[in-house]
Structures are given as C-alpha cells and as structure tokens.
Structure 1
C-alpha cells in the first residue's frame, strides 16, 4: 500500500542483497546463496525525534516542537482515515527531514481495519513498553484510540522535553502522574523563560491535550479530528497585536543577481479580517510596488514576496530604510471591498485603531543557505503563460508571450535550453517524457514537436486549428495529445499514427481555455470554456457525456483532484470563484471564494494533499483538505507581486510549487502544517 502523505514516511523501494556462503552439512561443503531484504526509504538527515529531543545537546525551540506535534497529528489523521492503526507511535519512530518536518515511520506492527470495523481483539500483545494503551495491554483490544494513547505520550514528551522511561514496567503510569503533578504554569514559564505568554499558553494546551489522550478509558480520549481542530486553533493564539509578523528582520543578499527576494509572513491571529499596508521611505529600491495594501482573512497567513533591485553595497547601519507595516481589524461593514484603493482609504480613516510595526531590512553578503523561495528573472521568464514539470528530471518547461520555450533546472538554478518557436504567444508547452520530446501549441494554430535533448524540430502540424491553441495535454497511457483552441474545438492527435487527427470534439460556443485527462480513467477528459460550461468527454465519442453550466462567468481552468476515496473536478471561473464537482453525483458540492479576479490556474499537490489556486489578481492560495469536515481550509495566501498568475505546477517529491506570472517565474515553499 502506498501511503501518500507528507507526514508519513513512504517506502521508496524493496530489494534483495545476495552473497555466497560455504557451509558444512552432513560431511559435505555446500555453496549457498544468502539473501537479505532491504527497505529503501526517503533520506531524512536530522534523524529521529528521539535523538533530537533527548540526545542532541542543543535544545529544540518551541516553534519547532509545535510544528512536529502538528505534523505527527496530521500524519495520524491521514492513517486513521484509511483506516490504519499504527500500533507503535513513539519518538524513535518519528523521523525528521532537513526542515524538521516529521514523518511517521515503522509500520511493522500496524493493523488495517475494514470500512465498518472500529476495533479488533488480539491475543498477541506487541509494542513498546510505556506506549501501549491499557485496553490493548490488558485485554488485547485494538482501535484507533490505541494510537491516541501513544500519541498523547509523544505530545507530552515533545512539549516537556522529559523522557518516558518505564524501565521494566509496561505502562507509563508514573510518567503521566509526574507530568500531571509537576508541569504547572509556573514550571512551564521557568523552562521556557524567553517565550511570550501566547507561546506559554500553547505549551500548556499541548500538555493538556497529551494528558487527555492518555485517559484510562478510551471513550474519554479525543479523536484525531478533534486534536487537529484544537491544534489549528492554537496555531492562531490570541494576541494583543493585530498581526503577528515574521521575521522581524529580512535580508536581501548582496550578490551577482540583478534581483533578490525575501518573504514576509503576516499571521492573522483572530477571527476577523485584518487590513494591512506595507510601505517604505525608499520605494525605488524595490521592484515590488510600494505601498502594498491587502487583507488577511481570518485564521490565515499572508506571505508577501518582497523583491529588491540589485544592491552593490550595504546601507549605513544607522539608515532608516526599514519597512513599515500598518494594520487594523476590518469588519465587513467598514470595508466591503478588498481592492488596494479601498484598503488604503480604510486605513487612512481608521485613526487610532491602526497599529504600526517596523521590519528591519538588511543587505548583507550572500551566505550559503538552503533557499526554498526563488524568483527567476530574465527576458525568457517574463510573461510566462505555461509551466510543466518533467516527471524524472529536475526540469521546468516554460512558454511565454514572445514565443520562447525554455527548460529550467531547479536544482542547479540554471537554464538548460531555450528556443524561439514562433514570434507569437505560446499558451501551452508540455513534456512527452516517453519520447524525449516537448510539444508546443502556437498562437498561429500550429503544433510544434521538439526533441528536448537536441532542441531539434521533430514534427510540425500546420494549421492544426483555425485559431490560437490555448491548451495541450498529454494522455498518461496512450500516444494521444489533446489540443484546445480559440476556434471552440478540441482535437485528438495520435503521434504513433504519424500525428493523425483521429477525432474532433465540438460543442463549446466560445474559446476552450483548458482540457485535462482524468488521471484515473485516461480515456475520459474534461474541458473548460469561456461559454460558462464544463464538459466531460470520452475519447471514443465526439458527443460529450456531461455538461455543467452553473458557472455565471467564463471558466478559465479545470483540474481533477482526489478527495481521499472520491475524485472531484475543480473549475476556476472568471469571477474569482472555484466550484468543486462530484463526479459520481454530477453535482456542485462546494464553492471556494476569495480571489479578486479570475482563477487562471489550478494545481493539486499530492504530497501535501493541498489545493493551490492561482489568480489574475497576482495571488496564490493554499487550501488544505479537512477530511473530518469534508471542506477546504485556507492556510496561506502568497502575494508574489509579479503580476497576474498564469500557470502552476508542483515539484514531485518536494513541498514546493512553481508559479508562472506576467513579470517572472517563482519557486515557492508551501507549508500547510
């Protein structure tokens, strides 16, 4: 079983190691083959949580501990949704990557339940002393609550830094009693003297969650859904400040690049919207247009990407060149529109309700650090219209309005190749990895095929469409390519049959903006159009199977994505809303609102189980799927300040996305923990 979750350690491979050995048996020497099985997992350089809590001299800060607690709980939420009971949760079985993100490992004792099954009985008691739930230890009863008991101990250990050492005792009664008796608010304050009151409240709440999880009666323990809900609320603890600002100091490295960027996190700790304005006394230093105004939704983080022009020397240490953040609570009756002009006017008239905070800005020599956020600048990466990520190579394929197609290596941060295909816009370019090609749809209605190793043209379909080609998509299993056009038509091409057009799909009354094959049923595909409709087709029929016409405006984007055991289709509209359609019931089950302009790009990040939406308003939204409430939760808004977002993609195996915009391309780390 493949466990696809960012907080569950995946099995990457299974192999055998063999060796010859000579043994003496019944008076004879026999040559025998000895095999050992090996399991290959993801490389996690920071080691186990056990090591980092109790063996490394440097003490982990609370922010990292809290991130680990949330990550473990999120992984367990995923397992229990299957449902799988892990049966051996403890710090030794939690591994940490180089960003201290936790991964649940060691599934040797795990049990998988049937859909209707809630618990089972076992005669063989296995597990780690001190972490075994009492109902399993004494009665052999197994349920998801068995994991909750172990999770509670893990949360308490992570929060307090004290180790559960049962010795020869199978239970953790002494450890639990010690924590109940001694970890008072005064003890927490003395152990974490540098933390503010809000963080101390988080620690106390996490200890209480852990102690609630280790109740003797499993019926008194909270579900993993309730634990996640509590932790999500703790992430946004009450504060006297309207917005929490991280970091307090940002650095733009002095180096050879013409542009440098740095991210600023505005964290809304409240149930209200927060209006903000970011300004500086030196706006010419920044490519980002300042002042910058916006609104942070409730319980959400707004990430601002600040881009500075090349700095040849550091400013004087006493110079007042910091950024000033103004913020104020914005009730709907006070601010009904969130466009920048309305926000600026609201803040100008809010008077004493406006708070100010200063962000120190530094320009220091470039040091070797791991950079997850990167702005890719240059003529070939402006006015980006499409991005595609190679499935095996660290390459990103881009196309732009000037007819250029480029391959960018995101590991070496260098261009691999580029070519001018046409002097007109190229709205779509896709890898065909099986053939070593990339295929390009031109504004001139032609389809171009190139070998991406030699950059030589392999084939050209002249006048494939009567008008601009808006989208291309490659079938995951067949030698088929779909093209969608401004001429209202969709065509199916078979490259194994000398690029013959084997079928034309007609039915839309306006530009077909995007098409996508169903990843679970590769003979089916969806199309979106400016005629306000979404259609579902089969490649063997020229007549569409389903038409959805509940969108009030033209549909710009469409994307299949899973909802655990179900599959849905999400469609982004010109009005800034996205509708989610259930493929089994053919009905709209949810509408996501918030973007000020059309949703031009959609992406599902399978490792993070997060939905990413990109808009012509220049922002990207990250939404995590909450399986217990069957809804999406807005986690982050990223303000790239690179103009309209035209394309999105995710980097396989990483927690990063690529964003193509009018003024450049960005690689961004996204975090939904």
Structure 2
C-alpha cells in the first residue's frame, strides 16, 4: 500500500539475507538463511514531535499551529481512502528540517471497504491515553477512533503539557479534565503574555477543537473535514506592514556562478487583496528588473524569485543596499486589473495609505545559504518549450526554441548531456524510459528519436506532419505508441515496434492542436486541446472522437488529467487565463479557476501534495490545493519567477518540488501546501 501525501511518511519495504543458522530438519542438521524484513523511511532530522514538544525550550506557537494543521491534513488524506491509523500520538509524528509533520507507524492501521464505516475486534492494542473509549472497552473501530486520538494530540500540542497516565488508568480522563478546567482564556493569556491576540485566539480555538474530539459519544465528535475547515477559518497573524515577510532579509550566495537567486515570501493573512511594489535604490545589482508590481490574493502567499549578478563579497553591515516593499489593501472597486502598470498607478494614487518596509539584502558564502529553489541559467536553458521528468533517474529533459535538447540532473545540479537536434524550435521532448530513448517533435514537422545514454540518433520520421509544426508529443504508458499533435489540425499515432509506422490519423479539430495527453487510468484513451476552443476525448482504436467540449471563451493551450481517488477529471487551460474542470463521468464543467492575467500554457497535478499547478504566459505559477470534502480548490501560493512566460511544468517524484520551463530560464521550486 503506497501512501503519497506531504504529511504522510512514505516507506519502502524489502527483504534481505541475514545471518546463517544451524537448524534441525527431519533428524538432520542443515544450514539455513535467515531472511530479515526491512522498512526504509525518509530521513527526518528533527525526530518525533514528542522529543520537541515537551522539552523546556518549547517550540513557538506559529510552528505548533502549523504542525496541528499538517497532522490534520494527513489524517484527512488517510480517512478519504479510508484508512484508520489507530495509533496517533506525538511519538508517531515525525518532523522534517522545516518542522513539517509526517504521520508515521502504520503497524496498527486498518483499511476499510469503500462503504464500510465500522468494524469490531476482541483484541485491543494501541497506546494507552490515546485510545478512544468505544475501542478500549467495546472493541469498536471507526474513523472517529482517530479523531479521539487527534483531540488528545491537539491538546498536548496546544498546551505543551504531556498526557501522563495515573497508575492502572488506561484512559486520558485526568488529562482531559485538567485541560477543560484549567486552560481558560485567562490562563492562556497569562501563560503567553507576549503573544498577539490573534495567536491567543488560535490557542483557545485549538483547545476547544481538542475537547470536542474527545467526547465520549463518538457521534458528537467533529469529522476531520470540519476540523480542517475550522482551522482554516481562524484569523491569522496580522502585520503592521499589511504583508508578512519571510525571510526578514533576503540572501544571495557568494559563489562562482554568474547568476544567483533567492526567494522572498509575501504572506497575506487578510481577507482582502494586497497590492505591492518592490523597489531598490541600486537596480544595477539585480538582474530582475525592478520595480516589481503585483497583487497577493486573500489568504495566500506570493513567492517572488529575485535574480542577482555574481557577488564577490558581502555589502557592509551599514549599507543602505536593500529592497523596499510598498503595500496596500486593494479593493476590487479601486483596482480592476492586476497587471503591473495598473498596480503601480494605484499605489501612486493613494499616497499615505501605502505601507513601506525595508528588506535588507545580504550576500553569504554558498554553503551557509540553504534553499530548495534554484534557477538554472545558460543558453541551453533559455526559451524552454517543454520539460519532462524521468520516472526513475533524477533527470529533467528540456527542449527549447533553438532546437537544443538537454538532460539536467537535479540531484547533482549538473548537466548530464545536451545536443542540437534541429535548427527549428523543438516544441516537445519526452522520455521513453523502457527503450532508453527520448523523442522530439520539431517545428520542421519531423520526429527525432535519440538514445539518451549514447546521445545518438536512433530514428527520424521525416515529414511526419508535412512540414507543419509538431506542437506536442505524448508517450503511451503501457503500449509502444506515440501521439503527435500539429498545427495542421491533426493528431497521429505512431507504433515504434512496427517500424514507426503511422497507424491512425485523428481528424476533427478546426485549428492548431496544442496538447495531447493519454489517460493515465485508461491507456487506450487520450484527450486533445486546440486553439479552436474545444477539447476532445478519443480512443486509439477509432478515428473519431467520443466526446467534444466547447465551453471555453478562448483557444485552449493545455490539457491535463486530474485523478481524484475514485473519480477523474480533465483540466483545460485557456488563452483567456481561465482553467475549466470537466467531470469525465457527467460530461460537464464542474469548476472554473481564474486569476491569471494571460493564457494558461501549462498544467501539472502534483499527486503527492494533491495540488494543482498552473503556469501562465503572464510569468506566474499558481499552486491550488484540492479540498476533497468540498470538491473545490483553494489558492495557496502565487510564484512570480521573473523569467518571462511559463511554457512547461513538471513535478519531481517523491519531492515537494516542481520544475518550471520559461522564456528566460528554468526553475526548480519548493511548494508548500498546508
């Protein structure tokens, strides 16, 4: 059972030979191998929550609140399967370097049937003090068993007090009684005199949630969906500067690279939009063109990636060389458009209402600057048109407008190989891992096949689309088929085990076919998007399409399948900056996502974070988390890469990172979804 979620600890199990042992068999002694089973976990340097939570130097409230939300999100994922963990406690919550929680230890977990809500057992096992009473005394197991344990965990995390059991007492009765009677608003205020009122309200709300979770009658306990909704609705920490900043100063590493980058997080905890402008008194030091203007949506984080020229030494500590952030609330009636010129005009017009904050700039040695965000510079990584991530190797395949194809190792941060495939734009490049190839669709209408280990050409399909541009390729996940889509309005199916013969042509679009994608669950079906405003669903065994959807006001630039547990949807990105979600079962549009100023050129579903990533020609990337209990999306982050138009996206398997291909470079970005 593979559990993939940011707040679930992944594990890999395998067997190995252990020691040899002399054993008796049918009256004879023989030498036998002892096979040992081994579980390999992700390394989490901060250890368990129990080691951090109950020490004298306690973690701050903001971090504890993040841990509570992270554990709840992980439990939401488990209950949606549905899996009951059965042993939630601080010892089984592990923390990574960024204090992000991971639920671990599934040794007692139970997997329910799709329609099953309860099971019974005569054997009760688990950790006393966290076991729900109906399970402890009657052997009844349900998702509410986890909610009880979660309640105790939330109260321990909120108060910093450990649930210590009295002798011969298996329940948490005394701990719950102490929290209910003693942790009043007055106690919270006296315990944390330096915290803002918003934080004190968060502590009180979390304690109340914990007390609701430990109700004796399980029917009175809240669902995990309701708990997360309550947490998300709590007022957030305010800031005198309208926007909160992380970090408080921005660092650029001193090193041999010509270009260095660093990210600045603008955090909007309000229910209003915030307009901002970032300026500097020394613009020549920055490669990023300043000033930068934009709008941070409500309850969202805007991540600005700043590029700087090579720094050989750090500026003096008294230097005035910093960034200046201006910000103000921007109501819709005051600011209709969020393009940079309109935002700048708005901030200039409101005078004293603009808040201003200084962001110091530091240059430190490369080894002392830790960042998961990375800008990959160089001629071969500019004007990127496509990216593809190898399924087993730490490689990213890129193609660009100058016909170059490169393989980049994101672990060693070095180029593996590169070659000029064509002098025309290479619009699409894909790995065919099982053959050791990559394929390239070119602006000259040809398909090129290369051995990526030897970097030698294997095959070239000349005039695959009669000199028309090949806009996109798609590799079938299970069969030896390749799809090519072109501005000749056609899609072709190629079989590489049959001498790269074209076995079928799909006709029906009235304009350029911009993207095709095989259905990951039904590999004989695929979707296509076109500038004719339509998306079509096809079967490779038939030349006619099964479904056509025409509900878009602009031409379509991207299409992507979106798995949602037992359901499946299709996401289509349009030139008008909107994305529509189509339900494959009902053939209807169920949601429209808006916010980008220009067309949505790339889409990506991050299965481990259960997050939708949209890339736009306006140069931004948006991260939206899927709220499974309400079938809606919540905007979490906006990333301003400042690398020109976004043309391609991909996710790095097993990591919380994405790769973004842009007009002016390629970026690897960390994305956090709580």
C-alpha change, 1:256 and 1:34, in structure 2 (3 Å) is closer
When normalised by structure 2's length, the TM-score is 0.96
CA separation of 1:58 and 1:27: change in aligned 2, threshold 3 A: farther
Q: Does 1:622 pair with 2:632?
A: no
- The 1:24–1:82 alpha-carbon spacing in structure 2 relative to 1, beyond 3 Å, is closer
Counterpart position of 2:649: 648
Quick check: 1:7–1:72 contact (8 Å CA) kept in 2?
yes
Mark the CA change 1:492 to 1:334 in structure 2 (over 3 Å): closer, same or farther: same
Match of 1:396 in 2: 396
CA distance, structure 2, for counterparts of residue 126 and residue 519 of structure 1:
39
Distance 2:185 2:17 in 1: 54
Residues in 2 aligned to 1:186 and 1:415: alpha-carbon distance in whole angstroms:
60
Deviates further, 281-290 or 611-620? 281-290
Which runs of no fewer than 5 residues in structure 2 stay unpaired?
none
Q: After superposing the two structures, state which structure 1 stretch, 116-125 or 613-622, moved more.
A: 116-125
- SS, match of residue 304 in structure 2: strand
Task: Output the CA distance in 1 between the equivalents of 2:92 and 2:52.
Answer: 12
Whether the 8 Å contact between 2:251 and 2:369 is mirrored in structure 1 is: no
Q: Conserved in 1, the CA contact under 8 Å of 2:387 and 2:399?
A: yes
Q: Is the 8 A contact 1:609 1:624 kept in 2?
A: yes
Contact 2:130/2:171, CA 8 A, preserved across alignment: yes
Q: Corresponding residue for 2:518?
A: 517
Distance 1:24 1:114, change over 3 A: closer
Distance 1:614 1:235 in 2: 30
Q: Which residue of 1 aligns with 2:205?
A: 205
Contact 1:202 1:237 (C-alpha < 8 Å) held by counterparts: no
Distance 2:28 2:634 in 1: 70
The answer to which of 593-602 and 287-296 deviates more is 287-296
Mapping of residues 410-449 of structure 1, within 5 Å: 410-449=410-449
**Deviation per residue, 1:258-298 (Å, 9 max, x gap):** 11111111111111111111111112211111111111111
Are the counterparts in 2 of residues 623 and 634 from structure 1 also a CA contact under 8 Å?
Answer: yes
CA distance in 2, matches of 1:538, 1:235: 49
Summarize deviations over 1:62-120 as a string: whole Å, max 9, x none: 33322221111111001111222111111122222333322212222222333333333
* Alignment map for 1:131-142 (pairs within 5 Å): 131-142=130-141
Counterpart secondary structure, 1:364: strand
Tell me how many residue pairs correspond in the alignment.
672
Change beyond 3 A, Cα 1:217–1:403:
same
| Mapping 1:126-525, distance limit 5 Å | 126-167=125-166, 168-185=168-185, 187-188=187-188, 192=192, 195-234=195-234, 236-239=236-239, 241-466=241-466, 467-525=468-526
The alignment status of 1:565 with 2:557, answered yes or no, reads: no
User: CA separation in 1, counterparts of 2:329 and 2:416?
Assistant: 48
Contact 1:595 1:615 in 2 (8 A): yes
| Residues in 1 aligned to 2:390 and 2:30: alpha-carbon distance in whole angstroms | 50
Listed one character per residue, the Cα deviations across residues 635-671 of structure 1 (whole Å, up to 9, x for unaligned) are 1000111110000000000000000001110000000
How far off is 1:409 after superposition?
0.8
Relative to structure 2, which stretch is displaced further, 427-436 or 97-106?
Answer: 97-106
Give, in whole Å, the separation in 2 of the partners of 1:214 and 1:542. Answer: 59
Residue 93 of structure 1 corresponds to 92
8 Å CA contact 2:13–2:37 kept in 1: the answer is no
Q: Check conservation: 2:15, 2:35, Cα contact below 8 A.
A: no
Partner of 2:254, secondary structure, is coil
Deviation at 1:531, TM superposition (A): 0.7
Q: Distance in 2 between matches of 1:143 and 1:383?
A: 53
* Cα deviation, residue 458, structure 1: 0.9
1:44 and 2:44 are equivalent in the alignment? yes
Secondary structure at the residue paired with 1:136? Answer: helix
TM-score by length of 1: 0.96
Structure 1's 515 and 26: CA in aligned 2 closer, same or farther, altered over 3 A? closer
**Cα gap change, 1:23 to 1:618, in 2 (>3 Å):** same
Root mean square deviation of aligned Cα: 2.0
Report if the CA contact (8 A) 1:384-1:665 is conserved: yes
Q: CA deviation at 1:192?
A: 4.9
**1:267–1:300 CA contact under 8 A, matched in 2:** yes
Shift of 1:221: 2.0
CA offsets per residue over residues 512-555 of structure 1, 9 Å max, x none?
A: 10000000111111000001110111111111111111111100
Cα distance in 1 for residues equivalent to 2:47 and 2:430 = 38
CA–CA distance in structure 1, aligned partners of residues 292 and 190 of structure 2: 41
Structure 2 counterpart of 1:14: 14
C-alpha deviation, 1:187, in angstroms? 4.7
Instruction: Verify the 8 A CA contact 2:625 2:633 in the aligned structure 1.
Output: yes
